[in-house]
Chains A and B, each alone.
Chain A
Amino acid sequence: MSSRFRASLLLLGGIAVTLAACDREERHSRSKPIGETLPAGMSPDTIWPGGTQPPALDPRAKLYDDNAPAIAAGQQLYSQFNCVGCHSHGGGSMGPPLMDDQWRYGGRIDQIAASIAEGRPNGMPAWRNKLTDDQIWQLAAYVRTLSGQPSKDAVSSRADAMSSTTPGSLTPREPAKSSGTATQ
C-alpha cells in the first residue's frame, strides 16, 4: 500500500468520523418549540387494511429519541414512578420485559409514549393524568435504551441500579422485528 493511498484513506476515515460526530446529537435547542403534547391517536397496530398506511412518526419523537438529557431524565423517572417495580431493569416482572425485541403495542417512541399515557388492558396503568406529557416522552426515550435502540453516546454509561445491571451504553441493540410499525 502506497503512503499516498494510506493518507487519503486516513483522510476519508477522518471525514467519516467528523461527519458522524456532526450527527451525534440533535438537541434542537434553537428550533421552533413544538407543543408538549402526547401522540394522540397513535395506534399500536400493524395491520392497516385496504392499503392504508400507519401514521408517520410523530414529529416530537425527534426531540426525545437519541437525546441525552431526555434519556437521563427518563432514567430517573423510571425508578421514581415505579416502572422498575413492574418491568425491572428491562427484564420484566409483573410487567413484560422491555429489553427484548418483542413489542406488544409497538416499539416506536411515539407508540411507547402512547402505551405509557393510555395504559394497556392487561395491567399497564394509564399515566396520562399522573405524569406530564414531557415526562412521558422522556420515559419513552429511556425505555428504548433498555433494548439498545438509541445511539450509544446519548445514553448514560452508568446504570441507575445499584448492582448487577448493564449500563445503557453496553446494552446490545435488539432488532425491533416483531411488528411493522415497531421498526424504524
Chain B
Amino acid sequence: MRRTGGALPVALLCSAALALTACNRSQPENSSPSATVYGSPPAGNHAVPAPAAFPADDGNWVMPGKDYASTRFSALNQVTPANVGKLGLAFTFSTATTTGFEAPPLVVNGTMYLVTPFPNILYALDLTKEGAPTKWVFKPKPLAAAQGVACCDVVNRGAVYDAGKIFFNTLDGQTFAVDANSGQQVWRAQLGDIQKGETITMAPLVAGGKVLVGNSGGEMGVRGWIAALDEGSGKLAWRAFNTGPDKDVLIGPDFKPFYAMDQGKDLGVKSWPPDAWKIGGATTWGWISYDPETKLIYYGTSNPGPWNPDQRPGDNKWSAGLFARDVDTGKAVWFYQSSPHDLYDHDDVNEIILADIPWGNGRRPALLRPDRNGFFYVMDRRTGEVLSATPYGYINVYKGVDLKTGRIIPVPEKAPHAGRVVRDICPASPGAKDWNPAAFSPVTGLVYIPHINLCQDVGAMEANYIAGTPYVGADVKMYAGPGGNRGVFTAWDPVNRRKVFEIKEDLPLWSPALATAGNVVFYGTMDGWLKAIDARTGKLLWQFKAGSGIIGQPISYRGPDGRQYIAVVAGVGGWSGAVVAGKLDTRDPTAGGGFVNAVKDLPMKSTAGGMLYVFTLPR
C-alpha cells in the first residue's frame, strides 16, 4: 500500500504531464494526418513556368493565379521550413459575410483588396499603417434575387488588378472597374441575366487590354459564354458562346482542333438534340490563363445541362472541354473535349498551368491540368494534343484516355440513365478536384493539388426547363471514397507522372494551394486549419486554427516593411460547405446537390464567418 501510495502521485504527475503535452499539441491527433512520401521531387531538368507568362515577382499579388501562367507561386523566400513555426498573426479583418469565401486577397503596392461573396463588397486595406485600417469600401449592391439562381453558395472567386484599376464581377451578372486609389467606380457592364439563371462567380482575367469574363449557371439551363470587355471603357469587344453555330462560338478558318472528334462544322449545334444547345450549359465559371507570347487565352467550359444525360444524346460541344482563343479577336484556335457527353457534372473549368516541360533534348510548351474527371493532363498548349493523362485520384467510371483519339473511355455500366439509380460512381460530381486551384513550384517542379476523394450514387430523371430555375434531373448522394478520407493533398510530378507525396485529409479540400520559393506550401482545411507543409516531403511544419473553415486561397506578399506575409480569408461555404453557409438539413442526403451527405459532420466542425488572417515572422 505504501508503495502504491508513493507511486500514485508520480503516476498522476506523469499523466498530468501527458495531459499537458496533449494540450500543448497544436491539434488533436486525428486532424493532423501525416504525409505518405512516394519519392523525391525530380532532380535536375523539370517543368518550369512558361517564361512569358511568369514575370519576376515584385512582391505584389495582382491576380488570383499570381501570374498569367497560373502558378500560384510566390518567389518570396523569407519563410522557410526552418522558421515557419514562428509565423504569427500580424492583423485580422472581418469581412462581414457568412457565406463561402473563395477569393484570394490582392496586394498592390501597399494596399490589400478583398472582394467578398454576395453582396460582393470590395474592401481596400492600407498595409502601410498599423493594423491595416480600411482605406475605402466599394459596394456594388447586386440584386438580392441573384442569390436564388446561384447553384452552389453565393461565392466570388476574386478580383484582379491592372493599370490602376480593380476589376471584379458581381453575382447578378455585372463587371465593375474601380479606381484602385480612390475606390470610385470607373465603369460597369451588365453581362449576365438572372432571369435566365445566369450569375457570375468567376474572377476576371485582364490580358491584352481586355477584361475576360464568363457566366455561371450550368445547373440552370443557361447558354455558356466568355466575353472580352475593353479594359479602359468596359465596352464589349467580343463575346464567344460555348454552344451553338460556329459563328456564335467564333469558330472560323483558324480553328484547328487536334483530334477528329472536335473537327467539323457547327458541332455546337449538331452534337445536341434540336435546340438543346440553347439551354445546354457549357458556362465559363472557372479559370483563364494567358500566354503573352502567342496571345492565346486558355479556359475550360462547364458541364452540359441537364445532368440527366438521356436528354442530350451527342457529344454536347463545346461543353466540358478546353478552348484556346486569340485574346484580341476571341477567335477559337483549338478545342479539346475532356468529357464528351459528360455523364457526371465533370466540368472542365479547372485551372490551366502554363509550363514548359522537358521534351527530347529541348522543351515543349505545355499546359498542366489536374482535371475534375480525375486525370492529370499534360497537353501541348500550341496544338491541344494530349501528351499524357494520368489518374491522380481514384477513378472507376473511366477506363482511361485514348491518346490516339483524345477521347476519354467511360465505363458503360456506370452511366446514369433516367429511371435508374447507379451506385459507386467515383469520382463524384465535384470530381477528383473541383474549382480550387493547384499551385506549381518552379523550385521543386511539382504541382501541389488540393483535392477530394468522394464517390456518389445518382438517380437520373427527366428535367423540365423553366427559365430561371434549376435544370438538373438528378438526385445525387455523395460519400467518402476508398480509404474514408474525403480530402487529399497531392504533390504531383507532372513530367514523370507520379505522386511524390500525399496527405490524406478528413474533410474535402476546398481551398486552393500556395507554393513559395522558401519551399513552404500552404493550404487550408474546411475545419479551419491553415497548414504549412514542406514542399519536398509534405511534412506538416506549422498550422493555425481560423475561426471558420478555409476554402479561400492563401497568398504571399512583401509588405511595405519588406517582410514576407502570408494572407488567407477563412469563411466556410461553397458547394462543399453549403451545409453550413446555407444552414442545410443533414437528414436529406440529396441536400446541396448531394454534397451534404458527405459532410454531415461539418456543422459540428466549423461555423460560418468571413475573416482575413495575415501572418508574418517576428522581427
Interfacial residues, chain A to chain B (CB-CB below 8 A): 79-82, 84-86, 88-97, 99-100, 102, 121-125, 130, 161-166
Contacts and interface: CB of A to CB of B under 8 A. Distances in A.
The DSSP consensus for interface residues of chain B is: loop
Given A91-B584, A99-B588, A122-B147, A163 B457 contact: yes
Contacts of B463: 82
A92 B584 contact: yes
A97 B583 contact: yes
Given A91-B585, A91-B588, A82 B470 contact: yes
B469 A93 contact: no
A100 B477 contact: no
Given A85-B470, A91-B584, A97 B591 contact: yes
A163 B459 contact: yes
B144 A163 contact: no
A150 to B, nearest CB: 18
A122 B148 contact: yes
B18 interface: no
Given A94-B152, A95-B148, A123-B144, 4 more contacts: A82-B470, A91-B587, A93-B593, A165-B475
Contacts of A81: 464, 466, 469
A85 B466 CA distance: 11
A89 B470 contact: no
A92 B582 contact: yes
Contacts of A86: 148, 469-470
Interface string B418-436: 0111000000000000000
B144 A122 contact: yes
B586 interface: yes
Given A93-B591, A162-B461, A164-B475, A122 B145 contact: yes
Q: Looking at chain B, what size class is its interface with the partner chain?
A: 35 or more
Given A92-B584, A164-B457, A123 B146 contact: yes
A87 B421 CA distance: 20
Interface of B: 144-152, 219, 419-421, 457, 459, 461, 463-464, 466, 468-472, 475, 477, 578, 582-593, 596-597
A93 B578 contact: yes
Contacts of B468: 125
Contacts of A164: 457, 459, 475, 477, 589-590, 597
A85 B472 contact: yes
Contacts of B596: 88, 91
A88 B420 CA distance: 18
A82 B464 contact: yes
Nearest to B194: A123
A94 B581 CA distance: 11
B144 A89 contact: no
Given A82-B470, A123-B147, A96 B582 contact: yes
Given A92-B583, A94-B150, A125-B468, A165 B588 contact: yes
